[in-house]
């Protein structure tokens, strides 16, 4: 046993859960918790405050001051298309269609700060003089409860700064006086992901037409099991893709039109791809270093790793001085060919040395591809950096994600990390309402947008409170039909 392990066994554990030998010790320790004392012990020494009747959380926003009032009308009948439409001054009591006033909430961004905007929208029951149909404007049904500015700020904090939904709800209430529940924040993510899904497709199409691309994968545990996230990156763009398994058959179809150099690690699924590849030399160097640590007295292993390290050092020195230029790196090609020629004519008795030799010989044509191309890196740092960004979020909520929520998060994370690689603000890109990253970078965010009076949900998505009202009416119809005699 190592001395460090003996010291670890004798060390006293000051953090984490403690396993007590006696149950009495466990009981006393539980009674000493901070929350337990404040709720059970300290409160007995002071007067208990009287409980005040609090209004439900969803009605807190009704007390906010209105900044703007908008009336929604419809000029044509949705059934027959006639423009002879009459708007009633009061709702129809017979049909039960008495629409109420709705409020929408938004955040306005100015050079000096952020302010809240409350919009009150009204409508009236419409009746068609030709067909006699009573209806409410479709725009009133699809009226968004939270506008783009508010959803952009919440999305920016959740994606860029990894602020959880419960914390976002507290921040909105503390800073702006808005009561937004966690379910509504999750709906923000779904709506914003639906909006920027086309942006991710354009980014992936651009990467497939470029000269170099990085790829990597990692696993994540959902509520239903383990799935995998693949990332495709360049020096400027990032796209995350959800896959249910780690199998790489989809790569053949996805990279069918790619004619550049693919930078990967040593996962076996990449070996069958027909495109040029550059294996990550950092992975290979770390594996060799681990073999040396496991076999410190293996002279045959050192006879392989020593000359290989000299080559990498010379190449890294040239790159630091001149960059990834093919004309400067070609001088190392004779040195690389001589190393592999010597390696191919050698035989080793050591198992570790023979394993390293077989690996180098197998990937001989994919280790130094960057010497013959411009701007092709010799490591997979771009993809690993993108994977690390997702791993931070994955470790914060282990086993709590669902498949649809993960897909929406990956779409928004692709846009966020692309903005980070390009050196532009993710929040400004969201607020610009631009869906094309290239167009936003060319304009430099010089456009001054005029806020629309109202915003609507995409077709097929209704306002949450209207959805609850529709479900309540359906349940009433079902109960009435069940009571009626056959």
Q: 369 near 261, Cβ under 8 Å?
A: yes
Q: 277 near 261, Cβ under 8 Å?
A: yes
What pairing do the DSSP bridges indicate for beta strands 238-243 and 261-264? Answer: unpaired
375 Rama sector, left if φ>0, alpha if ψ -120 to 50, beta otherwise: left
Q: 416 near 181, Cβ under 8 Å?
A: no
Q: Write phi, then psi, for 111 (nearest 5 degrees).
A: -60, -25
Model pLDDT, residue 270: 93
Model pLDDT, residue 479: 43
**Cα 476-479-485 angle, rounded to 5 deg:** 135
Model pLDDT, residue 471: 44
Helix axes 299-322, 333-344, angle to 10 degrees: 170
Query: Edge-to-edge strands of the sheet including 276-279?
Result: 238-243, 226-233, 212-221, 261-264, 276-279
Model pLDDT, residue 279: 94
Q: 123 near 91, Cβ under 8 Å?
A: no
Within 48-131, strands assigned E span 68-71, 85-87, 102-110, 113-122, 126-128
Distance CA 377, CA 384 (A): 13
Q: Write phi, then psi, for 134 (nearest 5 degrees).
A: -95, 130
Distance CA 441, CA 203 (A): 13
Model pLDDT, residue 226: 92
- Residue spans of alpha helices (H) in 398-444: 403-422, 426-431, 437-443
> What is the residue whose two structure tokens read 């899904």?
197
Local confidence pLDDT in tens for the 486 residues of the chain: 777 666 665 555 555 677 776 777 777 777 766 666 666 665 556 555 555 555 445 556 878 889 899 988 888 898 888 888 888 765 444 445 555 688 999 999 988 899 999 999 988 888 888 888 888 888 888 889 999 999 999 999 999 999 999 999 999 999 999 999 988 999 999 999 999 999 999 999 999 999 999 999 999 999 888 999 999 999 999 999 999 999 988 999 999 889 999 999 999 999 989 899 999 999 999 999 999 999 989 999 999 999 999 999 999 999 999 999 999 999 999 999 999 999 988 888 899 999 999 999 999 999 999 999 999 999 999 999 999 999 999 888 877 888 999 999 999 999 999 999 999 999 999 999 999 999 898 887 666 667 788 888 877 666 665 444 444 444 444 343 334 443
Model pLDDT, residue 397: 82
Interacting residues of 154 by C-beta distance below 8 A, sequence separation 6+: 168, 172, 180, 185, 188
Model pLDDT, residue 2: 75
Model pLDDT, residue 47: 56
Distance CA 442, CA 424 (A): 11
Give residue 103's Cα distance to chain centre: 30
Model pLDDT, residue 473: 45
Q: Report the candidate in 241, 244, 239, 252 with the shortest Cα–Cα distance to residue 205.
A: 239
Model pLDDT, residue 92: 47
Q: 190 near 404, Cβ under 8 Å?
A: yes
């Amino acid at each position: 046993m190592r001395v460090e392990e003996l010291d670890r066994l004798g060390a006293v554990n000051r953090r984490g859960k403690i396993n007590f030998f006696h149950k009495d010790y466990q009981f006393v320790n539980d009674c000493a918790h901070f929350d337990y004392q404040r709720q059970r012990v300290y409160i007995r020494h002071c007067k208990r405050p009287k409980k005040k009747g609090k209004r439900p959380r969803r009605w807190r926003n009704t007390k906010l001051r209105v900044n703007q009032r908008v009336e929604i009308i419809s000029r044509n009948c949705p059934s027959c298309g006639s423009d002879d439409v009459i708007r009633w001054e009061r709702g129809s009591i017979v049909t039960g269609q008495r629409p109420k006033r709705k409020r929408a909430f938004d955040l306005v961004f100015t050079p000096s700060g952020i302010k809240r905007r409350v919009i009150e929208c009204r409508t009236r029951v419409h009746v068609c003089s030709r067909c006699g149909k009573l209806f409410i404007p479709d725009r009133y049904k699809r009226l968004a409860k939270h506008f783009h500015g508010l959803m952009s700020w919440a999305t920016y904090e959740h994606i860029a700064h990894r602020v959880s939904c419960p914390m976002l709800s507290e921040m909105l209430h503390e800073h702006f006086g808005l009561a937004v529940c966690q379910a509504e924040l999750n709906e923000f993510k779904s709506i914003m992901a639906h909006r920027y899904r086309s942006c991710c497709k354009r980014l992936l199409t651009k990467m497939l037409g470029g000269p170099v691309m990085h790829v990597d994968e990692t696993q994540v545990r959902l509520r239903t099991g383990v799935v995998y996230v693949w990332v495709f990156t360049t020096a400027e763009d990032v796209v995350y893709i959800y896959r249910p398994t780690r199998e790489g058959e989809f790569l053949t179809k996805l990279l069918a039109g790619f004619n550049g150099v693919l930078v990967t690690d040593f996962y076996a699924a990449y070996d069958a791809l027909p495109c040029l590849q550059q294996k990550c030399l950092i992975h290979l160097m770390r594996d060799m270093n681990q073999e040396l640590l496991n076999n410190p007295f293996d002279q045959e292993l050192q006879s392989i790793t020593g000359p290989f390290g000299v080559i990498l050092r010379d190449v890294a020195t040239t790159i630091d001085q001149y960059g990834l230029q093919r004309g400067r790196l070609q001088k190392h090609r004779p040195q690389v060919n001589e190393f592999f020629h010597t390696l191919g004519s050698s035989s080793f008795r050591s198992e570790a040395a023979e394993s390293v030799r077989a690996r180098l010989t197998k990937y001989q044509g994919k280790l130094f591809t960057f010497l013959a191309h411009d701007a092709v890196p010799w490591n997979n740092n771009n993809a690993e950096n993108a994977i690390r960004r997702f791993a931070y979020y994955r470790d914060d909520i282990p086993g709590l994600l669902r498949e649809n929520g993960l897909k929406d998060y990956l779409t928004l994370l692709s846009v966020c990390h692309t903005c980070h690689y390009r050196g532009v603000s993710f929040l400004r890109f969201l607020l610009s309402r631009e869906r094309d990253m290239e167009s936003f970078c060319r304009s430099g965010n010089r456009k001054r947008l005029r806020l629309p009076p109202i915003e609507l949900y995409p077709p097929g998505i209704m306002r949450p409170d209207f959805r609850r009202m529709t479900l309540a009416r359906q349940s009433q119809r079902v109960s009435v039909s069940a009571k009626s005699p056959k």
